[in-house]
A and B are shown apart, each in its own frame.
Chain A
Amino acid sequence: GAVVSQHPSRVICKSGTSVKIECRSLDFQATTMFWYRQFPKQSLMLMATSNEGSKATYEQGVEKDKFLINHASLTLSTLTVTSAHPEDSSFYICSAINQGRKETQYFGPGTRLLVL
């Protein structure tokens, strides 16, 4: 079946630094990817929609300048947390829609970010 990978699986960084998280569709093309955030013991919250070749669309309340999204190819989207602060510590999950099977959405394993 279709697989979505994320790298890194976990990252620890100092406050003020930027962190890049990659989301890749390994065996299919994804015109659309989504980025979610999950706080401990809470649900997934959609942050933004990443469209290949165009600007990402952000959900209300998500700072686009803080969470930079780039979808440069049909298999890769990146989320960069700029000037990270401890409150950005969370679990970030991406998902991708298989271009050939538009109703199917596949999730990555998530990236644990800890900002010290």
Chain B
Amino acid sequence: AQRVTQPEKLLSVFKGAPVELKCNYSYSGSPELFWYVQYSRQRLQLLLRHISRESIKGFTADLNKGETSFHLKKPFAQEEDSAMYYCALEAGGTSYGKLTFGQGTILTVHP
């Protein structure tokens, strides 16, 4: 069975500082990895997925199969980035669309 681990429950940085939210996974196959974000009092929404290799709101994430990691990075954090971030894995095949979520990391960006 697949598993997603986000080791940090809480992460605090100051505005303008770099931020990295860690995500590690375990899965024997070739996974699809996602980052979802939940702003205060809002629903979960997709931030980015590894297959599209996009940069959304300045965030990037690189899938490292050797380290089984998919860390989320942003060089200069903004106050509006404060939110809950979830890393998620989709196993694919018959598991199409089924997401396994990490525990989530609450990011707080201080002014």
Chain A positions within 8 Å of B, measured between CB atoms, are 4, 32, 34, 42-46, 49, 93, 95, 97, 103-105, 107-110
Contact = CB atoms under 8 A, between A and B. Distances in A.
Contacts of A43: 86, 101-104
A81 to B, nearest CB: 21
Contacts, number: 39
B43 A44 contact: no
Interface string B90-111: 0000001111111110000000
Interface of B: 36, 42-46, 49, 86, 96-104
Given A42-B103, A44-B86, A32 B43 contact: no
B103 A46 contact: no
B15 to A, nearest CB: 26
Contacts of A44: 44, 86, 99, 101
Contacts of B99: 34, 44, 46, 105
B14 to A, nearest CB: 25
